[in-house]
């Protein structure tokens, strides 16, 4: 049975998710629907893009990922369906699907907007029906014509300085107040955040309660954490805060 995952900024309390799931249950009754999240901050395309980047590779072949964070809904931004790595991805052409579009061999088609679709709710009227068709085995090419040059957004890359430092930044804060950076865990042994210098340890529990730690997170990037506390609150780090990486103690 095909799997459809949902990744949106809809929240659940307003019923939009309930409408989308109803459309999927009607048009792809045999599909299994899994919630990734509906708690992306409203309109935060980059947050959704990062969650997609972290999650898609864990799903089996044939999974359809429905990703709707869509500030430009109803405008001339295109609607896309993408095939990559034997999975499918459906969502607006605003960069949110970049993790799929950047995969080798990715193909994208532009979805037509059905007559009668609400210009304010393409999640229900454009994207969900397309996801249902893919889950039902309809080939990508039957959903629309090839889409040239889809919008791609990239996570900022760290910069290597002449003295060997790797200058990166915080790209996300998580629920635990951990600050996730763009510094690959394989490339640095020590990080500095302003005047604070932290060796990269194995895990949060390698420091005492309420102490700061740098560790390698589940996606392979360095995180700044405070054990049983919040790095975001206690260290004042935020998205964009500069973090430097060093190969050996500074």
State the sign of the Cα–Cα–Cα–Cα dihedral 154, 140, 33, 68.
Answer: positive
Q: Which residues, 6 or more positions from 194, have their beta carbon under 8 angstroms from its beta carbon?
A: none
Q: How far apart are CA 97 and CA 93, in angstroms?
A: 7
**d(Cα 186, Cα 188) in Å, to the nearest integer?**
6
Q: Is 139 in the site for a second copy (CB under 8 A)?
A: no
CB closer to a second copy out of 12 and 145:
12
Q: Which is nearer to a second copy, 148 or 209 (CB)?
A: 209
User: Of these, 103, 174, 190, 211, which contacts a second copy (CB under 8 A)?
Assistant: 174
Of the candidates 78, 1, 77, 68, the one whose C-alpha atom is nearest the C-alpha of residue 35 is 68
Give φ, ψ of 203 to 5 degrees. Answer: -155, 165
Interacting positions 186-205 with a second copy (CB under 8 A): 202-205
State the DSSP H helix or E strand holding residue 235, giving kind and residue range, or none if neither.
Answer: helix 231-235
Confirm if 133 and 143 have CB atoms less than 8 A apart. yes
Q: Which is nearer to a second copy, 18 or 137 (CB)?
A: 18
Among 10, 88, 89, 127, the residue binding a second copy under the rule CB under 8 A is 10
Check if the beta carbon of residue 144 is closer than 8 Å to that of residue 126. Answer: no
Distance CA 237, CA 133 (A): 43
58 binds a second copy (CB under 8 A): yes
Q: Is 169 in the site for a second copy (CB under 8 A)?
A: no
Binding status of residue 43 toward a second copy by CB under 8 A:
yes
Q: Is 38 a residue that touches a second copy (CB under 8 A)?
A: yes
Shortest reach from residue 19's CB to a second copy, in Å: 5
CA-atom Rg of the chain in angstroms: 20
- Of 86, 102, 114, 119, the one binding a second copy (CB under 8 A) is 119
CB 172, min distance to a second copy, A: 7
Looking at beta carbons only, is 26 or 145 nearer to a second copy?
Answer: 26
User: Toward a second copy, which CB reaches closer, 40 or 108?
Assistant: 40
How many residues line the site for a second copy (CB under 8 A)? 73
For 71, the 3-state DSSP assignment is: coil
Instruction: Out of 4, 50, 131, 198, point to the residue binding a second copy (CB under 8 A).
Output: 50
Binding positions for a second copy, 211-240, rule CB under 8 A: 215-218, 223, 227-228
Whether the Cβ atoms of residue 106 and residue 95 lie closer than 8 Å to each other: no
Indicate whether 206 belongs to the interface with a second copy (CB under 8 A): yes
């Amino acid at each position: 049975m095909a799997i459809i995952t949902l990744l949106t900024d809809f929240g659940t309390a307003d019923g939009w998710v309930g409408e989308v799931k109803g459309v999927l249950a009607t048009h792809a009754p045999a599909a299994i629907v899994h919630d990734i999240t509906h708690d992306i901050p409203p309109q935060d395309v980059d947050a959704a893009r990062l969650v997609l980047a972290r999650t898609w590779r864990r799903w089996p072949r044939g999974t359809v990922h429905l990703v709707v964070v869509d500030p430009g809904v109803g405008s001339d931004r295109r609607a896309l369906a993408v095939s990559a790595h034997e999975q499918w991805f459906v969502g607006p052409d605003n960069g949110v699907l970049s993790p799929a579009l950047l995969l080798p061999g990715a193909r994208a088609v532009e979805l037509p907007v059905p007559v009668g679709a609400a210009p304010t709710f393409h999640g229900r009227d454009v994207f969900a029906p397309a996801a249902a068709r893919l889950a039902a085995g309809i080939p990508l090419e039957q959903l629309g014509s090839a889409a040239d040059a889809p919008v791609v957004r990239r996570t900022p890359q760290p910069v290597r300085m002449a003295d060997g430092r790797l200058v990166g930044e915080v790209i996300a804060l998580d629920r635990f107040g951990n600050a996730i950076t763009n510094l690959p865990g394989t490339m640095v042994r020590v990080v500095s955040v302003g005047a604070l210098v932290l060796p990269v340890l194995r895990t949060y529990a390698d420091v005492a309660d309420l102490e700061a730690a740098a560790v390698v997170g589940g996606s392979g990037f360095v995180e700044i954490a405070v054990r049983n506390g919040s790095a975001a609150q206690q260290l004042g780090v935020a998205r964009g805060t500069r973090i430097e990486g060093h190969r050996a103690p500074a």
